[in-house]
């Protein structure tokens, strides 16, 4: 399919694309927060770490309302680069894809409908006690996934959680995946050392040896993970029993893949990762390597290109800012597939630029 890159496990990816072309997806976006994001230098939050509590609810407000309500304007990096929710919103709108927000654990609730799973915000992983009720949240997410899988031809599961690549790293290490230096960052300069130091502190605080939780995913996320992980994993496990699932995200989804693989590996034949070209081309990370080590599901990447955009705020994506989030890669892939290729990357860019212009002007 045009504008979708087969990035890993090409035969599996081709089979998945054939299966999904023209079909009707349901897009879900799992949102949560973790205090880990407030560690200086971890996320692109800049001088105001509290803003990370507002980013996920603001992102999903944008999806449903075309504007944010819990903050003025839209989420941006310290340099003013807009949230990838702008891409997701544009893709979902163009392809008329229904959307359901899922709350995995928030401090600030969005002013839109969302599925509640009883989760809580995540603690700083350096406490070694990240989550209290991960098993319960996963169980409820499985119920939601089972029911939603009866309403759509396939499910797309995106995420928005600041600090999520650091918690992905620590969960992957706890589960025995050699993930050091392989997780992405929303910043061009990937702070690997800080992430590794944080993850190692977390493991130490939890008294966990690397790979100790290879077969205990709930313990891994409960000690050093974030709330998005068990919620997304549960949705995927519940849905992929019945229908295909696109895990829409970058290296954060590698941690979710590890959790699913350790819980219900039998569903993985129905699963692919859907991300962006920016993640695949990220020299500071290695999503394909992580996937190969965990479970060899296909990786598909939306071939979005902002290099030709007339807006500097979008062009910046080509310099390695943001890269992924709010399921923007998976949403784009499913928009292309639902339209059987009528929605191209050029059509999408025009829509994104129109929405960008309106949102920046209305700010």
Q: Confirm or reject binding of residue 219 to a second copy (CB under 8 A).
A: no
Nearer to a second copy, 115 or 194 (CB): 115
CB of 259 to a second copy, least distance (A): 18
Q: Is 26 in the site for a second copy (CB under 8 A)?
A: yes
By C-beta, is 139 or 284 nearer to a second copy?
139
E strand or H helix at 154: strand 154-160
Question: Residue 26 or residue 333: which is nearer to a second copy going by CB?
Answer: 26
- Reference 227, options 31, 27, 29, 43; nearest CA is 31
Report the residue number, 176 or 227, with the smaller CB distance to a second copy: 227
User: What sign has the CA pseudo-torsion 99, 55, 232, 331?
Assistant: positive
* Shortest Cβ 14–a second copy spacing (Å): 27
With contacts defined by CB under 8 A, how many residues of the chain interact with a second copy?
30
CA distances from 322 to 245, 247, 308, 357 (A): 24, 18, 17, 19
State the minimum distance, in angstroms, from the CB of residue 224 to a second copy.
25
Q: Which residue lies nearer to a second copy by CB, 137 or 254?
A: 137
The nearest distance, CB 33 to a second copy, in angstroms, is 16
Q: Across the beta sheet with 4-8, what order do the strands follow?
A: 4-8, 299-302, 271-276, 245-248, 154-160, 25-32, 99-105
Q: Taking the complex as a whole, how short is the minimal distance between the CB of residue 147 and a second copy, in angstroms?
A: 4
Can you tell me the distance from the alpha carbon of 90 to that of 328, in angstroms, rounded to the nearest whole number? 9
Task: Give the residue, chosen from 151, 342, 354, 362, that forms a contact with a second copy under the rule CB under 8 A.
Answer: 151
Compute the least distance from the CB of residue 150 to a second copy, in Å: 4
Binding residues among 33-92 for a second copy as defined by CB under 8 A: 64-65
Q: Which residues 83-142 are close enough to bind a second copy by CB under 8 A? A: 96-100, 103, 109, 111-118, 136, 140-141
Beta carbons of 350 and 108 less than 8 angstroms apart: no
Bridge partners (DSSP) of residue 159 are: 30
CB 149, min distance to a second copy, A: 8
**Separation between Cα atoms, residue 303 and residue 338, nearest integer Å:** 16
Residues 225-264, mask of contacts with a second copy (x by CB under 8 A): ----------------------------------------
In the complex with a second copy, which residue's Cβ is closer, 23 or 180? 23
Question: Minimal CA–CA distance to 325: which of 69, 81, 97?
Answer: 81
Give the three-class secondary structure for 39: coil
- Closer residue to a second copy, CB minimum distance, 116 or 209: 116
Nearer to a second copy, 97 or 247 (CB): 97
Q: How far is the CB of 144 from a second copy (least distance, A)?
A: 4
Partners of 271 in beta bridges: 245
Largest CA distance in the chain: 53
State the Cα–Cα distance between residues 197 and 74, nearest whole angstrom.
31
**Are 268 and 296 in contact, with CB atoms under 8 Å apart?**
no
| Positions that interact with a second copy (CB under 8 A) | 24, 26, 64-65, 96-100, 103, 109, 111-118, 136, 140-141, 143-144, 147-152
């Amino acid at each position: 399919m045009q504008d979708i890159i087969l990035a890993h496990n090409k035969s599996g990816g081709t089979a998945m694309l054939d299966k999904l072309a023209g079909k009707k997806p349901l897009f879900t976006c799992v949102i949560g927060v973790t205090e880990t994001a407030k560690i200086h230098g971890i996320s692109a939050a800049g001088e105001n770490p509290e803003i990370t509590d507002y980013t996920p609810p603001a992102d999903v407000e944008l999806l449903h309302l075309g504007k944010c309500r819990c903050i003025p304007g839209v989420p941006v990096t310290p340099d003013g680069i807009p949230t990838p929710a702008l891409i997701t919103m544009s893709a979902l709108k163009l392809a008329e894809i229904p959307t359901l927000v899922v709350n995995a654990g928030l401090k600030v609730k969005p002013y839109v409908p969302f599925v509640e799973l009883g989760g809580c915000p995540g603690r700083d992983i350096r406490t070694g006690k990240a989550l209290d009720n991960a098993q319960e949240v996963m169980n409820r997410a499985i119920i939601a996934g089972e029911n939603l899988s009866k309403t759509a031809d396939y499910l797309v599961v995106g995420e928005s959680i600041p600090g999520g690549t650091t918690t992905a790293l620590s969960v992957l290490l706890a589960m025995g995946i050699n993930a050091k230096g392989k997780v992405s960052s929303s910043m061009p300069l990937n702070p690997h050392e800080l992430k590794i130091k944080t993850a190692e502190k977390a493991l130490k605080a939890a008294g966990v040896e690397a790979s100790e939780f290879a077969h205990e995913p709930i313990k891994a996320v409960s000690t050093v993970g974030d709330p998005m992980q068990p919620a997304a994993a549960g949705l995927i496990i519940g849905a992929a029993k019945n229908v295909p699932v696109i895990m829409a995200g970058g290296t954060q989804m590698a941690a979710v893949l590890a959790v699913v693989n350790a819980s219900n590996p039998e569903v993985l034949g129905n699963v692919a990762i859907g991300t962006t070209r920016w993640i695949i081309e990220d020299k500071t990370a290695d999503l394909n390597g992580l996937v190969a080590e965990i479970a060899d599901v296909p990786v598909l990447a939306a071939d979005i290109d902002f290099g030709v955009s007339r807006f500097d705020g979008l062009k910046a994506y080509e310099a390695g800012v943001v890269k992924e989030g709010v399921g923007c890669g998976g949403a784009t892939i499913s928009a292309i597939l639902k339209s059987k290729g009528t929605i191209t990357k050029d059509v999408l860019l025009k829509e994104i630029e129109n929405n960008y212009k309106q949102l920046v002007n209305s700010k």
